[in-house]
Amino acid sequence: MTQPPAPIQPARTRLPSAESWLTGVPLPGERRLDRYAVAGFVVSLPGLTAPVGAVLALIGLARIRKSGARGRGLAIAALAISVCWAITLGVAAALGLYGEHKAGIGRSVQIGQLDVRQCFDADLDGGDTLKLVTIADCSTGHTGEAYAKVSAGLSGLSTEQKGTAATQACATSFQEFVGKPYAQSELDMYYVVLEDRPVADGNVLCLVGKPGRQLTGTMRGSQR
C-alpha cells in the first residue's frame, strides 16, 4: 500500500542577529562632534570675533540636523555668547558716545574755559585772535592740549612783564608734564591769562601744541 507523501514543511529563514542590524549606525556615544559647532563655540569666546562664531554655530546647527552629529549644545552656547557680546559691546559703545558728549568733544568754547588735560583744535597761528577752540579727542589728531593751570602774580605789571611771568610759570609745569625742558622741546608753549591776581586753582592756563602739525595722544611724559 502506498504511503501518502509527508507534508512539506515551509522553509525557515534565519533572521540576522540584532547586532548586524546596527552595523554602520553609530551609537550615541560614538557620534562625532560637528566641527562647525566646536569652531563656533571657540571663536565666540574672545568677543571681537563673536559674529564669526555665531555664523559658524548656525552652520553647525544646520549640519547637525542633517547628520545627527553631536555638538548642538556647543552651537547654542556659541549663539548665546555671541548675543551677550553684542549687547556688551553695544552698551560700551553707547557709554563711550555718552562720555564724549559729556566731555564736550566737538563743542566750541572760549579758550579760557578749557580744562586741564583737555585737547583742542584751533589755529595756533592766530595769535591774539585765538578766542575759540573746539574740544577734541586726545586719542585722535588734534592741535593742542591744556596741560596746567598755574598761579602767577600779574597785578600791576606791564603787558611784557605779564608775558614773561606767565611764560616762566608755564615753563616749569611744561617740564613736569612733557618730561623735557621747554628750551629743549620740539613743542611750542602757549598761555592764556585768566585773571591778574593769583588764585588757588591757577590764573594762567598753559597750553602745548605744534603749529602746522597734528598731535596724537596726550603729550604727558612724551619727552618730545
224 residues of the chain, pLDDT tens digit each? 555 665 555 555 555 555 544 455 555 555 688 888 788 788 887 766 778 888 888 888 888 888 888 888 888 888 888 888 888 777 776 655 545 445 567 777 788 778 888 888 887 766 555 677 888 888 888 888 888 888 888 888 888 888 888 888 898 889 998 998 988 999 988 888 888 887 777 888 888 988 778 888 889 888 88
Among the listed residues 104, 133, 154, 110, the one whose alpha carbon sits nearest the alpha carbon of residue 209: 133
d(CA 33, CA 68): 10
Measure the N-to-C terminal CA separation of the chain; round to a whole number of Å: 132
**Taking the alpha carbons of 33, 38, 41, 45 in that order, is the dihedral positive or negative?**
positive
Entry pTM: 0.50
